Amino acid sequence: MDSRSPGRMPISALVGGIGAFDEVLAAAQHGEEWAVATLWRALQPPLLRYLRAMCGDACEDVASDVWLESAGRLHRFRGDEAAFRGWLFTRARRRALDHHRRAAREPLAVADLPEPRDPARGGEVERAQALDAAIALLRSLPVDQREVVLLRDLAGLDVEQVAAMTGKRPGTVRVLHHRGLKRLAEGARLADVTPATSPTLSGHDDLLAA
């Protein structure tokens, strides 16, 4: 387990000893702000990165919609932390699909391309550039491969969760994951990906067919 990964870090570790995930979830379901803030701080970064890779510049708006939709149904959720991640990313995926349906009817604008972050803090500049480069490289993948790589390696979902979420068989998910990583490695090795690199959006139509 990578404790640095926001997608795989246990929420209870982010809480700082206040309580386990169940307690945080129960408090959030009762509308306690500290619990809601804990969940948001733990899951907003991977959610935002996933949506950046899937939706581009509209990621923040889509993320807000995902949170608000999830908040309206939070009282119905039952499950552990892994299930909660899958539950949240399922909504994120649906919202991403909706975004792509709308974007497919609109001409591609420059604003849809990922923009390099310009963090003011010194230590985060390189990290932010590396993140932008990684997302740009991910966006060059076909959508189904990109989606599986993101859900597996960013959101931390297992094969069965991704298969249930995407409506594919577990074997298909494994194959897509393997092909996505191989293609990602080839792209990273052959090209010196910089944040200024414009990823192609040709794979968006594939998502609609998925």
- Give residue 202's Cα distance to chain centre: 19
Return the range that interacts with another protein (CB under 8 A); candidates 22-30, 90-98, 102-110, 200-208: 22-30
Structure-block tokens of residue 126: 């390189």
Per-residue binding letters, 87-126, with another protein (x by CB under 8 A): ------------------------------x-x-x--x--
- What is the nearest approach in angstroms of another protein to the Cβ of residue 167? 19
Radius of gyration (C-alpha) of the chain in whole angstroms: 17
Whole-angstrom Cα distance, residue 90 to residue 206? 18
Phi, psi of 77 (to 5 degrees): -70, 135
Per-residue binding letters, 133-152, with another protein (x by CB under 8 A): xxx-xx-----------x-x
By the 10 Å C-beta count (0-12 exposed, 13-18 middle, 19+ buried), 136 is classed as buried
- What is the nearest approach in angstroms of another protein to the Cβ of residue 208? 24
- How many residues belong to the site for another protein (CB under 8 A)? 60
CA 91, 92, 95, 100 torsion-angle sign: negative
DSSP state of 151: I
184 contributes a contact to another protein by CB under 8 A: yes
128 contributes a contact to another protein by CB under 8 A: yes
Around 204, how many Cα atoms within 13 Å sit in the side-chain half-sphere? 23
51 contributes a contact to another protein by CB under 8 A: no
18 contributes a contact to another protein by CB under 8 A: no
Given its phi and psi angles, is residue 153 left (phi above 0), alpha (psi -120 to 50 degrees) or beta? alpha
Which residues contact another protein (rule: CB under 8 A)? Answer: 2, 4-8, 28-33, 36-37, 40-41, 44-46, 48-49, 64, 67-68, 71-72, 74-75, 117, 119, 121, 124, 127-128, 130-131, 133-135, 137-138, 150, 152-154, 158-159, 170-171, 174-175, 177-178, 181-182, 184-186, 188-189
